[in-house]
A and B are shown apart, each in its own frame.
Chain A
Amino acid sequence: MSSKQEMVQHVFCGLADKIGRPVRLMEVCGSHSFAIAKAGIRNLLPPSVQLLSGPGCPVCVSGEDFISRSIRLVRSGIRVAVFGDLMRIPSPLGTLGAEKGLIVIYSPEEVLDYAESHPEEQVVFSAVGFEPTVSAAAVVLETARKKNLKNFSMLCDFKNVRPVLDLLCADQETALDGFLLPGHVAAVTGSDLFKGLPVPGVVSGFSPENILSSIALLLNEIAAGRNSILNNYPSAVVPEGNPEGLKMIKSVFEPADGEWRGIGLVVGGNWKIGSAYGGFDAMERFSVLQEPLPPHQDRGCRCGEVLKGRIMPDECPLFGKICTSEHPVGACMVSEEGACAALWHNREAV
């Protein structure tokens, strides 16, 4: 055992002893899920400390209807641009990856360039994401308005992180003791967004040492019986967030109730395009999006319980058997930041 490993185990065992009962912690950021699995952090923790992956991967929590609607747009001859991680998400209409004529982009500006150089086409940017993506999308919409792009619109399923955390805290079955809070989201929203949660939380960065120290801080707060929100990612996060980013989000988007895959309706859980930018909302522009959607399918996977932290991915009967990264059944197995895929790609060794 290396001396670093000895030190880590010494710290965690001391904190776990001080707490004296099993604790359940949750990370709500896909990049954390991946970093934790990759560094093998779970097997450095004492057995009484359980680390759960919550609804932190935007691709996993986006509504099934969003994929069905994007497919409808493609099939009606509209040019749809997406980030590559949406291509394999299953929906009742199939996957976007099986459709022809999509554009896969790396940066939102590419969609605007495409729309500008193809005035004869209707171009829709289909996007999901949390606040960092929402602020980038706000810039895209503002630019589109300035350029008066008539052939550009957006179909979005943007998520507002805070309400779902309150919902998870209220879930008796999940019974959380604390949150490892998302560093990228907090860089935009500020750590103040998480004030008032009924359990403690620590905003964390993404290196193994930052995650380890955040977990130690979190356990220390639990041991002390405090519900503080601590910022352990000060190089990127300040309490009030990024004022420019927040201003952009609020000028373009407004909170709305939204469907989270596996979780259900979350009051205030989405960001929708505000009335000032309504002309760029694909939902308003294309009648094909108003048609009734096919019913959701029961694929037998337990994504919902995974996303709520009720079970670990390997407790789902499909995990690693019929649901693998080559053949994902549920959304959590698609993006490598999904709870199931993170664990599948980085199976921990004992």
Chain B
Amino acid sequence: MELPEKIMLSQGGGGTASAALIEAEIVSRFARSGVLAGLPDAASLPEGVIFSTDSFVVTPRFFPGGNVGKLAVCGTVNDILVSGGIPKYLSLAMVLEEGFSRKELGEILDSVKEMADAEGVQIATGDTKVVPAGAVDGIFLNTAGIGFCRHGIRLGREYLSAGDKIIVSGGIGDHGMAVLSARHGINGVESDCGSLRKFADEAFRIGGQGIKLMRDPTRGGTGAVLTELLKGTPFGAGLEESAIPVSEKTRTLCRMTGIDPLFAACEGRMIAIVSAEVADEIVESWKQLPGGELAAVIGTLNTNAEEIVLCGEWGGKRKLILPAGDPLPRIC
């Protein structure tokens, strides 16, 4: 893809435009080899250390089900969890706009504390910068996290095989639609923003080495994550469209706006590729967890390299094509 001279909003959307920018500017410099190669959600360092970072620019800052502070903790914690780690320490960096409300700052930081305490992670280091009005929009946060690898597990594309099942821990697209409804004053959809700790614990307890890969489908949604997971592998996937869980509210809002729930962001859901023997048991245990009620097996790996095919209710088939950008910029 030919890159424009100036950065475009769509290049931050998690679609093909983002991938092209990252390939040209990041992969070429930093990820041809070493720990960043393959662009995992979190880096696996020597001695079992898992390391990850994320920035948070969501607008609006407060949305049904969360705010930028809660998101800043969950986002990084979840990246470590889906990489097979147990998060322990977070950094917290803030860029504040001159004139930003101190009351709002307090509320956001209270959420950070509440979420970090609940997750058993410590805010271990931090930074605060203030820039002139207009240089950022209110508050931008960054968190980086350190965790330690669970014992006896192994995750990686090299463990995939045809027949593996794709499972999802709950209804997809809720965060994207919650942010969209908050922007347009529509009531109804609540964000799934939350920690994946219990989902990861259950999956590894039941599945062990049967867990091949995990991701949390944030920007770009489930569709983008599946595309990324299978990129460069000899495997493709068949998805049953009617099995993909979407809450009634999110489905309605997606229909109204024309947004495909497969490309709408989640902030508290997990996609895993697991061996067929453990798939149903994990899904059943996820269904018992709060937020996991709609967990489901949504598809199966096959040997059609990198091709994801959706099979509709009536038997019509189409390929899953990654959009160029995100229909909703600044989702997280």
Contact = CB atoms under 8 A, between A and B. Distances in A.
B318 A37 contact: yes
B314 A336 contact: no
Interface residues of B, number: 21
A341 to B, nearest CB: 11
B318 A1 contact: no
Nearest to A211: B314
Given A4-B313, A208-B312, A208-B313, A38 B318 contact: yes
Given A325-B324, A326-B16, A336-B258, A350 B316 contact: no
A346 B323 CA distance: 11
B132 interface: no
A212 B1 contact: no
A345 B260 CA distance: 11
A163 interface: no
Nearest to A343: B318
A216 to B, nearest CB: 12
Contacts of A350: 317
Give the secondary structure class of B's interface. Answer: loop
Nearest to A42: B316
B321 interface: yes
A349 B16 CA distance: 20
A17 to B, nearest CB: 20
B309 interface: yes
Contacts of A209: 314
A8 B309 CA distance: 20
Contacts of B311: 40
B314 A208 contact: yes
A255 B310 CA distance: 43
A212 B312 CA distance: 13
A350 B315 CA distance: 11
Interface in B214-240: none
Interface in A40-60: 40-44
A349 B314 contact: no
Contacts of B309: 349
A39 B312 contact: yes
Given A325-B324, A326-B1, A349-B309, A8 B318 contact: no
B319 interface: yes
Given A326-B1, A326-B16, A4 B323 contact: no
